[in-house]
Structure 1
């Protein structure tokens, strides 16, 4: 029994440590994006984004329909880079990561806090492109809600 337990533990450890190097690089880009938000460092965030990136959010309307709103990347960078009283803390979990050559799709459930106060939750869907051997965020679309946060977000 000890042998089986030891073997199982070894297999699990090897699988965790053998994470795909591309996944590590993709996660590093996304982590830098959110660390830049926490530090109000728009330059740090800008370094993770392609020059033609698109940011969108899905907004539920009072009549039960939804609207997709676009945000100019420059406006986002300016807003996040301004001094603000509360820390912008988007706490993500990595879900599915799919990679094909120079394209990656990443699903990240999240909870967003202003300082220590919960603001909203949802899911980010990232599309990244490998440009000059560096993963850059090309597209982000997210959902946002104040309640019905499920496990993982």
Structure 2
């Protein structure tokens, strides 16, 4: 059996090292994509309806645009630097919606990606309670289309109290 020479082994190792890609430590921020197509607007409709349900405090309105087997997940960063991840079923999430609560969430510059019957919306948000900023972050909505209608399957968001625009 032939054994490679030390020089050949070194060249082989150098070649494999040069073909490796070092991953970037952080992905660049999502750039908002131009919204204007009917399909993108159709994807945003249940997202906007969910935000409207939060504002009105209507669990019924929220459930109309949610897929029941989905969930909501928050990745929270506290001012002291501690972090936690909290997951809720949609039942738990909508139980917290109360009419007249003063809760109001807005998104800006949504990026929408669609592939067949799945879609994703990525958007910075600010959450206010009675007009006062409580926290901000980025929302990531996963949507699925069934029977021609888009539904929110999951939403995951980052949540922090520092660096929020007033």
Give me the TM-score of the superposition, normalised by structure 1: 0.78
Equivalence map 1:4-153=2 (5 Å): 19-60=36-77, 64=81, 66-80=83-97, 82-84=98-100, 86-149=101-164
Rate the CA distance shift 1:19–1:61 in 2: closer, same or farther, 3 A. closer
Structure 1 residue 33, shift from structure 2 partner: 0.4
Rate the CA distance shift 1:61–1:112 in 2: closer, same or farther, 3 A. closer
Give the superposed CA RMSD.
2.1
Corresponding residue of 2:22: none
Q: In proportion to residue count, which structure has more helix?
A: 1
Conserved 8 A contact 1:94-1:106: no
Structure 1 residue 110, shift from structure 2 partner: 0.6
Runs of 4+ in 1 over 4 A off after TM superposition: 61-65
**C-alpha separation between the residues in 1 aligned to 2:47 and 2:149?**
12
Rate the CA distance shift 1:61–1:147 in 2: closer, same or farther, 3 A. closer
Structure 1 residue 83, shift from structure 2 partner: 4.0
Alignment length (residue pairs):
133
Structure 1 residue 140, shift from structure 2 partner: 0.6
Conserved 8 A contact 2:125-2:136: yes
Unaligned runs of 5+ in 2: 1-33
Unaligned runs of 5+ in 1: 1-15
**C-alpha separation between the residues in 1 aligned to 2:67 and 2:164?**
30
Conserved 8 A contact 2:126-2:133: yes
